[in-house]
Structure 1
């Protein structure tokens, strides 16, 4: 199957959109490939031609969210003042608030462990790359850069999971997260 074929892209787009729609309505463990195929208006066999299983579809569908979070982490100025959250961090938590139901389901006990690991790993990777290029907050020279990046990546994922539960304005969460992450 040629992933550049417009028909393949359209079918995968429909399957991803159907999954995200169903995930916003139901617990993820109650969603099946058959229900996704019905919602996408494709044959179940067609769905399996594109994705080996539901977990592969979930992973692909959530890649957009993972990419968005990683992009925000990449754009965040790590030397910004403590009293004002950087704009990319505010954008990140606004995005999480906008898609809170989906994030809650993905982070839930019955959600996708692959999503959580992928998100943490991507953030860690982005931060480690930035740190190796010299864009590292001051005061951590005695900590290996890979461990520092892993610490911040895990912490940010934890705050994102907590923020998905709601209760605080995205700007307030961004500022609190910034103060924690900045050290």
Structure 2
């Protein structure tokens, strides 16, 4: 049985999430204070603390929908057994990030949120693990599967972070170049 959440609590949390995301598009996450969020949401600062322990917890909660969208695209993109031709889902990942580039740039930047980065890494690694298990590499608790999942996750996160900060090219161009780098020379991915 699901516990019913008071609609006032839902409205307050939605206000707080919207306020922190607005602020994150205007300034670095580390410079956002609970006072800033409360002022933007037009609520009392103490009310923020009734819902969230700190700014990072609020930022992470506010970014969950973004993360869910990105992770959904990662789930559709073969990152384990790579097809010869780049799948459209690979480009879709970069288009998704591009649609909210300011937020991703801030959250993944040097002044970003470690909790966000860790959560994103965890969620992407879970999807890659599922692909590895499906490909017959091993079970989800296998150290080999975990190592490969985190390696592929690091590649995806490295691509997104580098592209956002240092390689301002169109998403299709970035995806095509990255796909070439991911593909082993002249063959299919090793199982």
For Structure 1 versus Structure 2, the TM-score category normalised by the shorter chain is 0.7 to 0.9
Q: Which stretch shows the higher mean deviation, 113-122 or 165-174? A: 165-174
Q: How many residues align?
A: 175
What's the counterpart of residue 126 of structure 1? 127
- CA shift, 1:69, in A, is 1.9
- Unaligned 5+ runs, structure 2: 138-142, 185-191
Query: Is the alpha carbon distance of 1:135 and 1:175 closer, same or farther for their aligned partners in structure 2, counting shifts above 3 Å?
Result: farther
Query: Is the alpha carbon distance of 1:146 and 1:164 closer, same or farther for their aligned partners in structure 2, counting shifts above 3 Å?
Result: same
- CA shift, 1:147, in A, is 1.4
CA contact (8 A) 1:96 1:163 kept: no
Q: Deviations over 1:76-102 (max 9, x none)?
A: 13556434x322221211121121111
Relative to the length of structure 1, the TM-score reads 0.86
What is the aligned-residue RMSD (CA, Å)?
2.1
- CA shift, 1:15, in A, is 0.7
- Unaligned 5+ runs, structure 1: 137-142
Paired residues for 1:142-181 under 5 Å:
144-165=144-165, 167-181=168-182
Paired residues for 1:25-174 under 5 Å:
25-78=26-79, 79=81, 81-83=83-85, 85-134=86-135, 144-165=144-165, 167-174=168-175
Relative to the length of structure 2, the TM-score reads 0.83
Q: Deviations over 1:27-58 (max 9, x none)?
A: 11211111111111221111111101111101
